[in-house]
């Protein structure tokens, strides 16, 4: 792997930048691997990277039915935070946040991680009480979170409207300063490049069509659109299509897949210094380094695999954005799109072994999987390599639904994730 | 926005309707006979079909009736809508192909 550095940049400048190597090989599938990851998004590529780096498995393939990072990794609004209410969630998401803080150095790829702060707005008494409870719970768990008055929130984010005559006035805000954003494509590319350098085969345009098992039920391989591949360990990291892939092994999942939309405006000069989220009137926004305002809308009411959502969902969000930030009322939107998110009943993910020996799953991230990418990948690799969960992901198992041990962030987070 | 045909009122815009999840998920007659795994299946496991999905809708801002629908989740095309208590009209699925 050609390492990226200021020196390399100068050196390649002398040859007109003609001698950069491709960042990863275009691998063709081998007949057998020690482990196969299904799904080439950030979570799957990261899992392959950590399997190779920390667990010594080098004979690994990542199978992606489209192109890497073309699913939810390239479709989300890039928000990273860890201010979750419950102990299990705080441990999981803060594990990810700590990995984010060193990720660019770790994989020698600038993922443009920016800890610009995430501001969550309170619009009514319930919000205020709930957010203050979150702040106290977070601080007990060593996760930074603080309460801002409307004036302090306005100082932190000048475009914010805090006038008292709004339909849903801003009564205050919770601020996590360590939270922020990262460049989503760079996360997929960086993990792909780093995994490839450790010998991982990244195989695109390769759709898994069946999972094979032996007489004892143990997995023996997968059938793909590019031929048969034998393996004794399969890690499924297929986001919205998790139910479909797990169904190939005869498993029914506690998942439903919904379209979630996002949209970006025309690019403008830097005006928006942080991330603002409002669960109550359902809008969240940040500004990318290209200058576009990146806006997250809601999910459609019904399950779907279409990767597009209804217009009234994004229109509803834009109404909220116009009220919160009147400066942006005359901005034009450039693009909108949808991704398919797999949602669990308690809105917490599943990173676990399954009843099928040799089959592991990382799914159920719903509307908030990007923020957890390094943490989920790290813990998923641990679970696959050791055939047992890490203490952090042990509560996020499949059996919690039968045992009633839900981690009910749905009740805790209300809407946005 | 989808155009949904209520079996009682005819075609109406999606905004008049509420989605109510997968159809034909039957609650046990006697909960005392039900094991943990059967409760899990009833409460949490969903088929999450990629293809023709049987689901409940409610015409909340209309006749307020629940009804069932078959919808292709890869296109959002409604194959059929039918009343609660009627069986799944799979002939309509074949005809729609």
The pLDDT tens digits of the residues spanning B36-77 come to: 999 999 999 999 999 999 999 999 999 999 999 999 999 999
Average pLDDT, stretch A314-333? 94
Helix (H, G, I), strand (E, B) or coil at A137: helix
Give the pLDDT score at A200. 98
Give the pLDDT band of residue B96 (cuts 50, 70, 90).
low
Give the pLDDT score at A275. 97
Cβ contact B20:B14 at 8 Å: no
Query: Per the CB < 8 Å rule, is A305 touching B50?
Result: yes
Average pLDDT, stretch A53-82? 96
Alpha helices in A141-231 (DSSP H): 150-156, 184-197
Q: Tokens for A235?
A: 């890690």
Query: Per the CB < 8 Å rule, is A304 touching B73?
Result: yes
Give the pLDDT band of residue A354 (cuts 50, 70, 90).
very high
CA distances from B61 to A309, A348, B6, B18, B84 (A): 21, 32, 11, 9, 18
Instruction: Tell the CATH topology of A115-179+256-343.
Output: D-Amino Acid Oxidase; Chain A, domain 2 (3.30.9)
CA distances from A224 to A205, A359, B77 (A): 10, 16, 28
Give the pLDDT score at B90. 81
**Which candidate from A244, A256, A311 shows the least CB-CB separation from B1?**
A311
Query: Per the CB < 8 Å rule, is A302 touching B55?
Result: yes
Query: Which residues of chain A make contact with B2, given a CB cutoff of 8 A?
Result: 310
**CB-neighbour burial class of residue A179 (10 A; exposed 0-12, middle 13-18, buried 19+):** buried
Query: Per the CB < 8 Å rule, is A253 touching B48?
Result: yes
Give the pLDDT score at B93. 72
CB under 8 Å to A192, separation ≥6 — which residues?
A23, A24, A40, A45, A62, A68, A69, A202
Query: Per the CB < 8 Å rule, is B55 touching A345?
Result: no
Asked: is A25-78+184-254+346-413 a CATH 3.40.190.10 domain? The reply is no
Ordered by start, the domain boundaries in chain A are 25-78+184-254+346-413, 115-179+256-343
* Residue with tokens 């209804």, as numbered in its chain: A310
Task: Inform me whether the pLDDT recorded for A260 exceeds 90.
Answer: yes
Query: Which residues of chain A make contact with B14, given a CB cutoff of 8 A?
Result: 310, 312
**Which candidate from A243, A254, A257 shows the least CB-CB separation from B44?**
A254
Question: What are A294-303's pLDDT values in tens digits?
Answer: 999 999 999 9
Nearest C-alpha in B relative to A347: B44
Give the pLDDT band of residue A1 (cuts 50, 70, 90).
confident
Task: Inform me whether the pLDDT recorded for B85 exceeds 80.
Answer: yes
User: Nearest C-alpha of chain B: how many angstroms from A243?
Assistant: 6
Question: What are B10-19's pLDDT values in tens digits?
Answer: 999 999 999 9
Q: Which residues pair with A201 in a beta bridge?
A: A61
CB–CB contacts below 8 A, A to B: 65
Interface of A with B (CB under 8 A): 241, 243-244, 252-257, 301-306, 310-312, 342, 345, 401-403
Query: Which residues of chain B make contact with A257, given a CB cutoff of 8 A?
Result: 48, 50, 73
Task: Inform me whether the pLDDT recorded for A416 exceeds 60.
Answer: no
Nearest C-alpha in B relative to A307: B74
Interface test with A, best of B14, B48, B52, B55 (most A CBs within 10 A): B48
Query: Which residues of chain B make contact with A407, given a CB cutoff of 8 A?
Result: none
Task: Quote the ipTM score.
Answer: 0.94
Query: Which residues of chain B make contact with A238, given a CB cutoff of 8 A?
Result: none
Query: Which residues of chain B make contact with A243, given a CB cutoff of 8 A?
Result: 46-48, 50
Asked: is B3-94 a CATH 3.30.2270.10 domain? The reply is yes
User: Nearest C-alpha of chain B: how many angstroms from A237?
Assistant: 16
Query: Which residues of chain B make contact with A302, given a CB cutoff of 8 A?
Result: 19, 55, 71, 76
User: Nearest C-alpha of chain B: how many angstroms from A349?
Assistant: 14
Q: Tokens for A379?
A: 């813990």
User: Nearest C-alpha of chain A: how many angstroms from B64?
Assistant: 17
Question: Which of A281, A278, A83 minimizes the C-alpha distance to A172?
Answer: A278
Question: What are A279-290's pLDDT values in tens digits?
Answer: 888 889 999 999
Nearest C-alpha in B relative to A341: B48
**Which candidate from A241, A304, A311 shows the least CB-CB separation from B76?**
A304
Task: Inform me whether the pLDDT recorded for A415 exceeds 70.
Answer: no
Nearest C-alpha in B relative to A255: B46
Task: Inform me whether the pLDDT recorded for A257 exceeds 80.
Answer: yes
**Which candidate from A241, A310, A403 shows the least CB-CB separation from B1?**
A310
Ordered by start, the domain boundaries in chain B are 3-94
Cβ contact A276:A181 at 8 Å: no
Give the pLDDT band of residue B94 (cuts 50, 70, 90).
confident
Query: Which residues of chain B make contact with A345, given a CB cutoff of 8 A?
Result: 43-44
Query: How many percent of chain B have pLDDT more than 70?
Result: 96
């Amino acid at each position: 792997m050609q390492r990226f550095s200021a020196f390399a940049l100068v050196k390649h400048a002398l040859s007109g930048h003609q001698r950069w190597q491709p960042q990863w090989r275009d691998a063709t599938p081998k007949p057998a691997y020690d482990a196969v990851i299904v799904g080439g998004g950030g979570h799957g590529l990261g899992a392959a990277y950590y399997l190779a780096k920390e667990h010594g498995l080098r004979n690994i393939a990542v199978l992606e039915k489209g192109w890497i990072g073309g699913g939810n990794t390239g479709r989300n609004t890039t928000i990273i935070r860890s201010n979750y209410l419950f102990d299990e969630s705080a441990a999981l998401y803060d594990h990810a946040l700590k990995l984010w803080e060193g990720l660019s150095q770790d994989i020698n790829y600038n993922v443009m991680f920016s800890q610009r702060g995430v501001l969550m707005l309170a619009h009514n008494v319930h919000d205020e009480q709930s957010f203050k409870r979150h702040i106290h719970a977070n601080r007990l768990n060593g996760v930074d979170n603080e309460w801002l008055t409307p004036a302090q929130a306005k100082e932190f984010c000048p475009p914010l409207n805090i006038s008292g005559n709004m339909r849903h006035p801003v009564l205050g805000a919770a601020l996590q300063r360590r939270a922020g954003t990262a460049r989503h494509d760079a996360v997929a590319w960086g993990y792909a490049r780093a995994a490839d350098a450790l010998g991982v085969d990244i195989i695109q345009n390769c759709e898994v069509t069946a999972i094979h098992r032996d007489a004892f039920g143990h997995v023996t391989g997968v059938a793909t659109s590019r031929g048969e591949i034998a393996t004794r360990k399969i890690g499924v990291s297929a986001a919205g299509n998790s139910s479909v892939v797990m169904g190939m092994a005869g498993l029914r999942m506690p998942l439903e897949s919904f379209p979630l939309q996002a949209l970006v405006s025309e690019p403008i000069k830097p005006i928006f210094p942080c991330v603002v989220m409002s669960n109550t009137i359902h809008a969240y926004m940040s500004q990318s380094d290209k200058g576009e305002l990146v806006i997250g809308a809601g999910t459609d009411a019904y399950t779907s695999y279409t990767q597009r959502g209804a217009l009234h969902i994004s229109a509803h969000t834009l109404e909220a954005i116009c009220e919160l930030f009147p400066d942006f009322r005359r901005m034009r939107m450039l693009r909108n799109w949808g991704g398919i998110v797999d949602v669990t009943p308690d809105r917490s993910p599943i990173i676990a072994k399954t009843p099928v020996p040799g089959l592991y799953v990382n799914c159920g991230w719903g509307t908030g999987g990007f923020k957890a990418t390094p943490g989920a990948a790290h813990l998923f690799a641990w679970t696959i390599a050791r055939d047992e969960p890490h203490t952090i992901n042990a509560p996020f198992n499949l059996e919690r639904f039968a045992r009633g041990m839900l981690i009910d962030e749905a009740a805790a987070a209300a809407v946005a994730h | 926005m989808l155009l949904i045909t209520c079996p009682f009122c005819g075609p109406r815009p999606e905004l008049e309707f509420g989605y109510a999840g997968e159809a034909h998920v039957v609650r046990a007659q006697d909960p005392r006979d039900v094991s943990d795994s059967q409760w899990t299946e009833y409460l949490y496991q969903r088929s999450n079909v990629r293809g023709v999905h049987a689901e409940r809708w409610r015409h909340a801002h209309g006749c307020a009736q629940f009804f069932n629908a078959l919808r292709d989740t890869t296109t959002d095309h409604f194959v059929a809508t039918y009343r609660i208590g009627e069986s799944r009209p799979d002939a309509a699925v074949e005809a729609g192909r």
